[in-house]
Amino acid sequence: MNSLNIKQGTSSQSAYDLRSSYGDNIETHTLAVVVDNEAGVLARVIGLFSGRGYNIESLTVAEFDHEGHRSRITIVTTGTPRVIEQIKAELGRMVPVYQVNDLTVEGPSVERELAIFKVAGSGEKRAEAMRTAEIYRAKVVDSTINCYTFELTGKSEKIDAFADMMRPLGLTEIARTGVIALKRE
């Protein structure tokens, strides 16, 4: 306490208030990054994340403009608001990067993920796996006497829920693409 009975750092008018206006809560953001489709660009983008210790939850990349040789990288990352802002700024300064969009803050977006599930089983478990797949609108893309392979598209939560339902029925393997997203207009 000082002679004015004001605690240091508690007043928004205090010169000693050094607390960040961003907060310390961890957020998840989906970033859409348009880059040149050339060798080494993805490595440079990923190097930015690994070099600074930023986390990547999901990463998808594909060329979307064949004539212009441009690719779209969709990155789902986590961090404090200050870290997210720093990631966007550093991505924007990279030479092969044309555009960085934070779909989480730019308004509503459509996000989807594709997953393939291999479920082995027989008898009642096999029938139950088919019933569960119908409920989730999963497609059978391969079938053998002892195994089904299902394809499912949807939000990450839907993919996770389907995996949880299939585990007791004989889920043996999962392959996931990661999130892709577009801003809604």
In the chain, what are the domains?
27-102 (3.30.70.260), 109-183 (3.30.70.1150)
State pTM to two decimals.
0.77
C-alpha 73: how far from chain center:
11
Q: What pLDDT, in 10s, does the model give residues 30-88?
A: 999 999 999 999 999 999 999 999 999 999 999 999 999 999 999 999 999 999 999 99
Q: What pLDDT, in 10s, does the model give residues 124-168?
A: 999 999 999 999 999 999 999 999 999 999 999 999 999 999 999
Residue 22 pLDDT > 70, yes or no? no
Residue 98 pLDDT > 60, yes or no? yes
